[in-house]
Structures are given as structure tokens and as C-alpha cells.
A and B are shown apart, each in its own frame.
Chain A
Amino acid sequence: MDLPDPSFPSRRGLLGGGVAVLALAGLPPAALALPSEPADDGADRQRPSFLSPGELGTLRGVVDRIVPADDGTPGALATRCAEAIDTLLAAFDTDPPRIYAGGPFSDRGGARRNDFARFLPLDRYESRAWRRRIEGPGGFREVYRRGLRALAATTPGFAALPGPVRDLALRGTQDAAVRRLLDLAVTHTLELHFGAPEYGGNRATAGWRGIGFDGDRQPRGYTRREVERPRTRPLPLLALPSTPAMLGAAAALTWAGSDDALGHLAGGADHGALTALVGERLAALPQLTDLHARADAIVARVRGEEEAR
């Protein structure tokens, strides 16, 4: 396959990271481990494909950093997000094109048949839009092909480099084609790692299980007891004290839950960038200090009243 044996990172590859190599000092040994190769299966060999084996190898090295494996939970490499992106780029090689999974039910929530597995035919409007989005000028194919080639050219042996070196190559890139690739690959990797497995990623629902998400539950749904008295469980001890401040804008944006439309901006390809913009504005906002002071006063008052009782 396209990645080298994980136990023998090549010296050439390491040096290829240039400046990045310097940053390796001080990293724990585990951080150097290269991704292990997920098992292939028959379905993969027959899936439609656009990228060359070399390009796909580079892309695998990218998605592996967007959602890395950690203790016990697989990352986007193992959930096959690179292959799923490649399949999206070849969506029109199959009929119907692999854009919209069918409905209403997968077989994960009590249905006998998996409707998601049969993709929906597109009408002429949808076809026209999605062909342009994938195959047109500036479309997905062009962004991936140019970006992956640029990445391979600017960081020789990218896919063979240790994870932290690849991180540095991606985060520090000055190449516009690589940046465009990364913007799109982040969006697609998150989509495919955390979306229904019928789109090719989230293999064996490992993406969902890794974050404690139940996945699609219809037609079974939940019982009244499961709704009103769920079995709560402690969450992993991430740095919770710092989390609220850090999550501020991002988390709250997401609760547009009931009325959200952000995901559809720019055809669903650019919501991350939009949120980043909002985050910058939030950080620079003078009124927030005032708002926080007012909020603190309210909490202090209520807590004071409770203590007085």
C-alpha cells in the first residue's frame, strides 16, 4: 500500500520534513508512531476512484492528522475517510451518483433493511449542481489534485513522515493550493468520520463510538425512560476548567441546533472558516466584558439568596 511499514519510519522521510524535524525533540515516543494500516476489504477494491495511488497515499497522510487515532479510538485513517473522499470525487462514476444516501432507515435502529445503502437518483438540477461542484473549474477534484500534488512537491515523502511532522507541514504551509486542500479536507474528513458509514467513512461506526454518540436510532428511537432518566456517565477528563472559555463561541454556534443554517453556507463546504471568523470577532468584542460582568452579578445574587435561605 501507499504508506510504509509503520514500524520503520524512513530516514529520508524524516529529513524531508525539513524544519519540522527540529520540533520533534521533547515529544513522547508514542507521538512518533505512524498510523497502522487498516484492513482492506473487497468492497474497497471495487469502489469508484479518482485519485492516483500516490495521491491517495498523500491524502491518507492528511486525514490521519485531522482526526488522529488516540488511546483506544481509531482516527480518520482507520475509518477510511481518505477512501471516502476519493469516492466522492468519483461520485458520478456510479449511477445513481453517491451524493445523497437513501432513506428513511439504516439497519442500525431496528429496521431489517438498510435504506441508506441505496443512493438516491439525482434530478437534473441536483446533477448539474453537484457535477459542477465536484468536476467543474475550482471544484473538489481540482482542489484535491492540485493540493495533493503541491503537498507532495513541497514536502517530499509526506505520507511517510511521523504525525507531528506532517502536522507542521500542514499547519505551516505557505502554499495556496495546500491550504485550499486542507480547508476542504478538514470539512470532508469531519463529515465522513462523524457521518453515516454508508458514505464510506466512519467504518464500523467507529467514529461515532469514539465520541459516545448513539448514531441514527430510527425507527426504534428512545423509550420514555431513556429520555427522562438516561444512564449518565462521567465524561473523559479533558481540561474542563479551560474548556468553557475555549469553546465559547464555537459551542454556542452549534446550538443553533433548532434553527441552524450555517452548515449550508457555501454549499456546505465552508462552515469551519465561517466559524473561525466568528471566533475572531468574539475575541475582539468589548461588549462581552460587560455581558460577563452582568452575568456574574446575576449568578452572585442568586447564590447569595440561596445561602441566605
Chain B
Amino acid sequence: MSREAVVVGSGAAGSAVAWELARQGWDVTILERGTHLRPGLGQRPAGRLGTTYGSDEIKGLRGYGFPDGLLEPVTTRTQAQARAGVARSAQGALGQLGAAVGGTTLHYNAKTPRFWGQDFTQRSDLGPVPEAAVADWPIDYDDLAPFYDLVEDRIGVQGDRAATPARTRAQTPRTRDFPMPPNPTGYAAGLLAQGARALGWEPYPYPAAVNSRPRDGRPACNACGLCSGFGCPIDARGDAIAGFLHPALRSGRVRVIDRAWVHRIETTRDGRRARAVHWHDVDGGSHRLAATTVVLAGSPINTARLLLLSRSTAHPDGLGNGSDLVGRHMMFHNFTLAGSVFAEHVEPLRAQSTTLVLDDLVGPFRGAPVRELGVPYVVGGLLQVGSGAPPIQGASMLAAYTGWGLALKEVMKAGLHAGIAGSQLVHQDLPQAANRVDLDPRVRDLHGLPAPRVTYSPHRHEQAAATLLGAQLAMHRLAPGAVGALVLPFPLLSDGITNTAHLAGTARMGTDPRHSVCAPSGRLHEVENVYVADASTWPTFPGFNPTLTIMANAVRIARGLAERSAT
């Protein structure tokens, strides 16, 4: 078999796949709809890449490194709207994920917890939930553990095993400590941690792909605090480029074609094998690239859309969609946010962002208080402790409450860069068949192709979790010096998509082709040589930042692909 692959997407998943395949002697072409934002990529020595990013909030707000909603719209609606026959209720940039060579990792927050052992067996352990399609993963923690080790080393993760609670260590057994010790804890995060300890909780350093000391030619983080949504100006943050794509390109076996929009996977007449991918350039030019193996790594919405766009006589409902599950079980991390209000400037932005985390709200929770909320159990997620927000973000949000004018200006003096320090609870989102990506019947992208349409509403479980766990964020009133606290439970606020950059589902993996799109190997059940390597494959979406697991699972899938092909 030819040792050659076409990979769609150059982000966390695509870069990891390309790196592993190149290491195994494969030749890889990556097609990426975004463009190059890191001068010297693939050419200069490690640690010598340039960047066009800066500590510039306007650049992020203007969508630098993101797909543009005017040219690549996403449309959305809630489940209730879908039932009422509403075609769409919003259109534009969904804004969830970036589009650039290196993907969203160019401006992500780089928090890298591992999923827990219990996450892979949730259905078996906890039983069914009405109107949700909770499923066990076809792999378990032990299958991913060596890849977690590998990825943590490649991207450079900081953390402190000794400071990690016993429960967390038991759920995420590790053969070695983190590659680096943690950064200093921000003052504001420390105050919030005291509030958490008053409740008996155990905050600890948040594993993060951020250098706490110089490593592989890249410097240590100097705590500017402008992380999420910003490219790191000093390259202290580990990402898909530093860990995988740059070394893969330097191997000479990998190339990236940027501004390449893949819109169809062409198969043999019987539909059993892919033989090419078709893509458009920015000017609308059409290209065909022959392929003996295709790996999809464009993130859940794009992967589902591409499979649906690739319908043919042999695959009338979309490639590999005999199960009618392609695009279904779209999951987003909803957040419940909370914060302490202080009467003094506590410098919430002055630290490597969100330096602490706690696991006390992961669950599962059962018993009478849970049953009263109408669900059999509640699973939560980790709480990211101690963050602020830069001023435009703060101002535009506060403006909605104070209105514009003098009141806003006065409130800003005590705003989210100054007197308010917050936390985010990452809610597990249960999979639902009615939460799905399909093709919008009318709205088109810059190439005239149907836009992805996302139908989504949170499950009753998410609302129960927000009520039960959100109340416990009263912890923020217990921080020393706090004069008030705030809680904002997103799942209660919105019956649609809320703000999150965490996506999973749409092509779940499993052993039964009637109930899954991909095999545990990532290969489509119905097509011999098409693999899905991104978070589309996840049957559930545990309440942890996903990037580390995206990378680990992608390397696992690529290694399996290479090893099977070698035999």
C-alpha cells in the first residue's frame, strides 16, 4: 500500500497526524483553508519562528486567524426552532474555531488536562439518560495514556503531579511527572483558591502547554496574561506548530497547501475507496488531488460538512453516512462562569492565564438533590480558577448592562482587568441526536457551496448541572477581600449555542456501524481509506479542555493507520 496521505486541516489533529505519519516514513500533503501566520515555518530551526501576532486585542476582535463570517458563514438554530420549521435564526462567524496554518492552537489558552478513566465508560457505569445518546468510548484511558505522555512532551506541558489531588491522580495515572514545573500563581487566582479551600476543595496548578522555563529554543512564559485569543508574542506557548507541524515540515516529507478549501472527497464508483479530494483556491479555481489515504482533521463542524458535501450515488446521504449519524451528536462545552468582586485592584491579568484548576465539580453526582432536578445523574467538569479579561472585551460586555456613557467608564475602572477575578466551569455536554450539523438549504460560502447549519440546544442535564454546580460557585464569595460574587450559568441562559471554542462529536467512533460513523481506528465504517482524526470521533465530551486529547487521539489514529498499512 502506498505510504502517502492527504490530510484536511493543519490544526491540533492534522498536525499531529502529519508528524506521526512522516515519522513512519509517509509523505503527507495537508490542505488548510487558513493561511500562514508564522514566518519561517518549516524553514528556520526550532524556536526561531517569527510571529505576526502581538498583545493586540483589536487584531483578535477583527478575526485575525479566524474564518470570516461574510465569506464562510455558519448558520444556527435551536432544536425548538428546527421543530417549528425555522430554517435558521442566525448567520455569520460562529467564531468557535480559528482558520490558520496551525489551527486554533495559534491563539488557544493551552490548558491541557487529561480526560479521566471514568469518562470512557460513562454509559456502562452510570446507565442511560433519557433523550441523550451517551455511549462508552471504544477505547479507554490506557489506550490513550502513552499518547498523552508523547504529546505532553512534544508541546511542553507544565504541571505538578505532587500537588494534584489523589482522586485526579487515580483517574489519570501517569508514568512520569510533567515535563516542566508550573508558572507562578497569580495573586488574584490565589485569593480565589482560598475561597475554594474554605469549601474543602483542592485547587492545584493547571496543566498547560506553556513553558515555565526555556525549552527547545523557546523562552519561559513571562506572565503577560494576554493568552486566550492572542497569539503568544514570545512563543512561550506550546502548540500544534511547535510540537508537530514545524518538525514534520522540516522532515521534508510533509507539505502544506494553504488557502485550500476541500469540498469533496471523490470515491471509486462502488464508493468503497476514496481516490481524490477536490478543493477550491481563494479565487474559485478548482483543483483535484489524487489520494490513496484521506485523513479528515478539520474539526467537527467542517468534518461533518465535508462528509455531507461528498455525497454520491454510492453514498447518497453523504460519505460514510449509511447510519444517518454524520453530523449528529454535535457537542459544545457550555460554561458556568463566576467571579469575585474586590474593592481593590488585584491584577487578575497578571499571570500565565488561569494558573489554577480544581476537580471537585467533575462528579458524577447522584442522589436525591440530583433526582429532584429530573435527571439520573449529573456530570460536571473542571473549574478553571482565576482569570481576568482585557479591556475591550470587558468594556463591550459591561456596556450591555451599564449602557454606553459615563457609567460604563466608571465601572471599567473596577473591571475585569482590575477588581473582578473569575472562574469557568467546563460543563460536560451530553450527546443528542437532534443536535446536528447539516447543509444549509440556502446560505452559501464564498465558493457557492452550502454553509454548515448547526441545530443545537443544551440537554436538560446541562441545565440541572448548571443549577446544582453553579450554586457551589458561591465559593467566590468566600475569597478573602471579596465584596460580592457573580454567577452566570450559560446552560440556563440560552437554549442555543453559547460561547465556547470546545467542539466535539458529528462522526462518533464505535464498533457497530449502525450506531457509529467511524471504527475505533478512526476509519469510516463504509470507506476503506478515509479516516477521521479530530474530535468529531468522540462519543461523549467530558468536561475538560479538549486539545491535549485531540492531539493524543490523532497520534493514536495515525500510528494505527501506519502500522496496519505496514503489515
Is B57 interfacial (CB-CB < 8 Å)? Answer: yes
Q: Name the interface residues of A254-304: CB closer than 8 Å to any CB of B.
A: 254-268, 271-273, 275-276, 278-279, 281-282, 285, 287-288, 290-292, 294-299, 302
Q: Name the B residues within 8 Å of A126 (CB-CB).
A: 68
Minimal Cβ-Cβ distance residue in A for B412: A211
Q: Scan B485-517; emit 1 where CB is below 8 A from any A CB, else 0.
A: 111110011100001111000000000000000
Contact partner, B410, options A129, A236, A264, Cβ 8 Å: A236
Q: Are B422 and A257 in contact (CB under 8 A)?
A: yes
The A interface is mostly helix, strand or loop, or mixed, namely helix
Q: Are B405 and A220 in contact (CB under 8 A)?
A: no
Is B71 interfacial (CB-CB < 8 Å)? Answer: yes
In Å, the complex CA distance between A196 and B346 comes to 23
Q: What is the CB-to-nearest-CB distance from A92 to chain B, in angstroms, rounded to a whole number?
A: 14
Contact partner, A216, options B56, B69, B470, B501, Cβ 8 Å: B56
Q: Name the B residues within 8 Å of A288 (CB-CB).
A: 489, 492
Q: Name the interface residues of B333-353: CB closer than 8 Å to any CB of A.
A: 333, 335, 337-339, 341-347, 349-351, 353
Given A247-B401, A261-B95: A233 in contact with B392 (beta carbons within 8 A): no
In Å, the complex CA distance between A75 and B223 comes to 30
Is B416 interfacial (CB-CB < 8 Å)? Answer: yes
Q: Are A260 and B345 in contact (CB under 8 A)?
A: no
Q: Are A287 and B463 in contact (CB under 8 A)?
A: yes
Q: Scan A186-217; emit 1 where CB is below 8 A from any B CB, else 0.
A: 11011111111001000000011011111011
Q: What is the CB-to-nearest-CB distance from B389 to chain A, in angstroms, rounded to a whole number?
A: 4
Q: Are B467 and A294 in contact (CB under 8 A)?
A: yes
Given A125-B71, A236-B410, A262-B95: A103 in contact with B471 (beta carbons within 8 A): no
Q: Are B54 and A302 in contact (CB under 8 A)?
A: no
Q: Are A282 and B233 in contact (CB under 8 A)?
A: no
Is B423 interfacial (CB-CB < 8 Å)? Answer: yes
Q: Are B70 and A129 in contact (CB under 8 A)?
A: yes
Q: Are B58 and A191 in contact (CB under 8 A)?
A: yes
Is A174 interfacial (CB-CB < 8 Å)? Answer: no
Q: Name the interface residues of B280-334: CB closer than 8 Å to any CB of A.
A: 282-283, 333
In Å, the complex CA distance between A267 and B412 comes to 24
Is B122 interfacial (CB-CB < 8 Å)? Answer: no
Is B162 interfacial (CB-CB < 8 Å)? Answer: no
Q: Are B93 and A255 in contact (CB under 8 A)?
A: no
Q: Scan A91-126; emit 1 where CB is below 8 A from any B CB, else 0.
A: 000000001111111100100000110001001111
Q: How many residues on the B side are at the interface (Cβ–Cβ under 8 A)?
A: 133
Q: Are B472 and A298 in contact (CB under 8 A)?
A: yes
Interface centre among A189, A291, A299 (most CB of B within 10 A): A291
In Å, the complex CA distance between A230 and B187 comes to 7
In Å, the complex CA distance between A251 and B401 comes to 9
Minimal Cβ-Cβ distance residue in B for A287: B492
Q: What is the CB-to-nearest-CB distance from A85 to chain B, in angstroms, rounded to a whole number?
A: 12
Q: Name the A residues within 8 Å of B413 (CB-CB).
A: 210-212, 235-236, 238
Q: What is the CB-to-nearest-CB distance from B401 to chain A, in angstroms, rounded to a whole number?
A: 4
Is B399 interfacial (CB-CB < 8 Å)? Answer: yes
Given A104-B234, A278-B493: A256 in contact with B499 (beta carbons within 8 A): yes
Contact partner, B353, options A244, A253, A257, Cβ 8 Å: A257
Q: Name the A residues within 8 Å of B184 (CB-CB).
A: 224, 227-228
Given A65-B405, A285-B493: A227 in contact with B223 (beta carbons within 8 A): yes
Is B198 interfacial (CB-CB < 8 Å)? Answer: yes
Is B186 interfacial (CB-CB < 8 Å)? Answer: yes
Segment touching B, from A5-13, A42-50, A66-74, A144-152? A66-74
Interface centre among B351, B403, B486 (most CB of A within 10 A): B486
Interface centre among A103, A211, A254 (most CB of B within 10 A): A254
Q: Scan B533-567; emit 1 where CB is below 8 A from any A CB, else 0.
A: 00000000000010000000000000000000000
Minimal Cβ-Cβ distance residue in B for A245: B484
Q: Name the B residues within 8 Å of A132 (CB-CB).
A: 70
Q: How many residues on the A side are at the interface (Cβ–Cβ under 8 A)?
A: 116
Instruction: Please list the residues of chain B having a beta carbon within 8 angstroms of any beta carbon in chain A.
Output: 35, 50-64, 66, 68-71, 92-96, 109, 111, 184-187, 190, 198-199, 221-229, 231, 233-234, 259, 282-283, 333, 335, 337-339, 341-347, 349-351, 353-354, 384, 387-406, 408-420, 422-424, 426, 446, 463, 466-468, 470-475, 477-478, 483-489, 492-494, 499-502, 545
Instruction: Please list the residues of chain A having a beta carbon within 8 angstroms of any beta carbon in chain B.
Output: 65-68, 70, 73, 75, 99-106, 109, 115-116, 120, 123-126, 128-129, 132-133, 167, 171, 186-187, 189-196, 199, 207-208, 210-214, 216-222, 224, 226-230, 232-236, 238, 240-241, 243-244, 246-268, 271-273, 275-276, 278-279, 281-282, 285, 287-288, 290-292, 294-299, 302, 306
30 contacts between A and B (CB under 8 A): A66-B404, A104-B54, A104-B234, A129-B70, A191-B396, A196-B56, A212-B345, A218-B234, A224-B184, A227-B187, A227-B351, A236-B413, A240-B414, A240-B483, A247-B341, A250-B397, A252-B338, A252-B488, A255-B389, A259-B109, A264-B61, A265-B94, A265-B95, A267-B68, A267-B69, A268-B63, A291-B487, A295-B472, A295-B477, A299-B478
Known contacts A124-B282, A230-B346; 10 additional CB pairs below 8 A are A195-B61, A207-B391, A211-B391, A213-B391, A218-B54, A221-B222, A259-B335, A272-B399, A291-B489, A292-B487
